[in-house]
A and B are shown apart, each in its own frame.
Chain A
Amino acid sequence: MPSSTATSTTPPKADPAYGRTPGLRPPLPAWAPLAWFAAFAAVLAFVVIAMVRPPGPLDDADPAFQRDGLLLDGPLVPPQVVGVEFGGRPVVLLFVRQLPQPADLSEWLNAVPEGADVRIVLPQPTTTELPAPTVVDRPGNLADAVEMPQPVDGGRPVGYAVIDSRRVVRYATLDPDYLTNAFEVTTMVNAVS
């Protein structure tokens, strides 16, 4: 450096002369980044491949479309399907194959904001007293109307759809674990109410 002041005081951060000492080695050996990368790649591949589970039989074949949380302008449903009226108020259709414990179901229903109507769509009639109106839809007309995705096993969907007051399907997702993910229906219904 041209003067002693340039090296004996702390130069500005931008000064490339900062700390340029002859013979100063970097703090890492040159091979270190490659070794880090090799170890990191092995751990990452294990985590992603082994710990991120593949879709189950009730899940969407493409996980990207399951519970994506994306508010859409989906299909327009008719004013009435299998006795369920649409329009005027948001409607949540919960598609199930087997009824959960009433207490668990009540907890899920409590997560649905009050401004929306809830219908539980069943494949066959039930004698169990449920805390919400039910609809028996053996041929799956409601699922077709809201374009519910089909699970890996090809059977009836387990999940829910949110239809807004204009009869537009804003959200339709498979969710076999809907009871533990009740917060999602709260967010989606609030967004369309």
Chain B
Amino acid sequence: MTARTWPKAYGPLRPRTLLWQLAVLVVAEIALYASYATHEARFHWATHFLVGLTVAALWRALFLLVAARPTRFQLLSILGFHLWAMWPDIVFRAPGVPHYHWMDWLALGHVSSHYMPGGDTTWLLVALAASGAYAVLLWRWLSARHTEAAAGLAPALGVGGSGVLRPQLDPTTTVLAHETCGAPDSAGEPLVFLHGLGATSSTWVPTAQRVAVAGVRSLVPDLLGFGSSMRIGTAFGLDAQADAVIRLLDHHDVQRAHLVAHSWGSALAAAVVERAPERVARMTLVAPAVFADVDSARARFSERSWLARATLAGSPLGGFVCGAMCLARPLVARLAPRMEPDVPPEVARDGVQHSFAAYSDALNSMWEGNPLAEVLRRPPCPITVLLAEQDRTVLPSDVLDLPPSADVRIVRTDGDHGIAYTQPDLVATLLLEQLDSRAHTRGAVT
């Protein structure tokens, strides 16, 4: 294993790293203990060490829950928090500053911690409880990662929520969570709806229900890492997603399907058709994520949401905030419809049902290795593209500027990027038109 492929997330737990930190911690604590013992104040050392130990355990546990990986300086953080808790004692000696009550706020309760009922015995129990809870948490996290490794999966780093405590499921043995609409024995190729970035099957359910009335069968999956498939998989790029979609087709014994995709899902549809062209009868792409200029597209996505901005900038803040939202997912899901009043409530609620790793992989896959432009240039099957004139996320001109192809039909309509879930009637009508007539207007622009 080379250093390059060793994940940073595992670095803090390497035995060599832990051992040198342990050595520094022990030597430093002995020195601090001696400095107190010289002045008959061992009691103070114990109080502040135990407070520091407690806060260090809480910090490490919180970091593990939020970032879904262990923090750096696992053992040195104990020394760090101890020094934080005891700095008033240091400045008491050197510059000669007595203690004041306001130091409680800046030194982890330095003054008040002495007045804990039961004294150091209570602090010892508190510190052991906090450290024990962190040890259990880390044990569960390591167990989950070992289970994933035994299954041949990559470690689920950055997968928050339940992914911290439980192993992700193997996508080769677990089918994507999905809804089926329409009669199973209906004739013709079934529709397979692929949702966009940060979305779930709820994007497409209203459309699938409308076409089901006409007797058309549909599969509406939550893609890897999203919605009810959040616990499936540890890598969420286009390759892994395409494999999962093909396995869904296998699961339902579907030989050929009509892929209907929105935004980032269009890149996935292109990945599926590149991987298994014989499994795709046709594609309908709604506001497809294809970009003439990747840099300006990244800039537009950055303006779209703070999470996209942080993720694209490579800032760890995105992972932390997303991880915090994982912890508070039920509350955030409840608030989401109010924060996005223009989006159907169920779509807004499902917009937080994903891990940061899934979001990040999906977002990056739009710029790195996105096969959609090439598929639109040389379509392996008939493709209908629905463009929204007011779309500011993916520009209609990026599709229109591609060289025209006889197998690509372009339909333009009023609307914005959310056309897939704001205008299900329109999309359903377009799909039924295609299915009824089986007519494919070659190269037409409506």
A positions within 8 Å CB-CB of B: 1-3, 5-6, 10, 12-34, 36-37, 40-41, 44-45, 47-49, 51-53, 62-64, 67-71, 171, 177, 180-181, 183-184, 186-188, 190-191
Contacts and interface: CB of A to CB of B under 8 A. Distances in A.
B15 A53 contact: no
Given A17-B361, A29-B142, A2 B96 contact: no
Contact of B42 (A18, A44, A45, A51): A51
B272 interface: no
Interface residues of B, number: 85
Interface stretch (B149-157, B180-188, B329-337, B382-390): B149-157
A36 B111 CA distance: 31
Contacts of A171: 98
A107 to B, nearest CB: 15
Contact of B43 (A1, A27, A28, A52): A52
A73 B183 CA distance: 83
A21 to B, nearest CB: 5
B62 to A, nearest CB: 16
B350 interface: no
B105 interface: no
23 contacts: A1-B237, A6-B364, A16-B361, A17-B235, A17-B361, A18-B8, A19-B7, A22-B152, A23-B153, A24-B149, A26-B142, A27-B13, A30-B142, A34-B136, A37-B131, A37-B135, A41-B132, A45-B128, A48-B121, A49-B124, A67-B41, A183-B96, A191-B96
A190 B96 CA distance: 8
A14 B368 CA distance: 17
B92 A69 contact: yes
A77 B212 CA distance: 90
Interface string B92-107: 1100111111000000
Contacts of B266: none
B9 A19 contact: yes
Given A45-B124, A64-B114, A187-B97, A18 B43 contact: no
Given A21-B154, A22-B154, A32-B142, A70 B15 contact: no
A5 B138 contact: no
A177 B39 contact: yes
Interface string B127-166: 1100110111011001101100100111101110000000
B353 to A, nearest CB: 17
B127 to A, nearest CB: 7
Contacts of B53: 44
Contacts of B1: 21, 24
Contacts of A186: 96
Q: Give me the 7 closest cross-chain CB pairs, A-B, nearest first.
A: A19-B7, A16-B158, A12-B314, A3-B369, A2-B369, A37-B135, A64-B114
A41 B125 CA distance: 10
A63 B319 contact: no
Contacts, number: 204
Task: Kindly name the residue among A5, A33, A171 whose own CB sees the greatest number of chain B CB atoms within 10 A.
Answer: A33
Contacts of A15: 314, 360, 364
Contacts of B45: 52
Contact of B100 (A13, A37, A48, A71): A71
Nearest to A12: B314
A136 B97 CA distance: 32
Given A14-B311, A18-B7, A64-B119, A34 B128 contact: no
Contact of B119 (A2, A17, A63, A191): A63
Interface in B296-341: 310-311, 314-319
A14 B314 contact: yes
Contacts of A68: 99, 111, 114
Contacts of A19: 4-10, 157
Contacts of B39: 177, 180-181
A22 B86 CA distance: 44
Contacts of A44: 53, 124, 127-128
Contacts of A27: 10, 13-15
Nearest to B267: A2
A37 B235 CA distance: 32
B364 A2 contact: yes
A71 B100 CA distance: 6
B1 to A, nearest CB: 7
A67 B4 CA distance: 53
Interface in B36-79: 38-43, 45-46, 50, 53, 68
B360 A16 contact: yes
A27 B364 CA distance: 28
B222 interface: no
B421 interface: no
Given A13-B314, A37-B131, A187-B96, A52 B136 contact: no
A173 to B, nearest CB: 12
B98 A30 contact: no
A8 to B, nearest CB: 9
A40 B43 CA distance: 19
Contacts of A191: 96-98
A63 B114 CA distance: 8
B239 interface: yes
Nearest to A32: B142
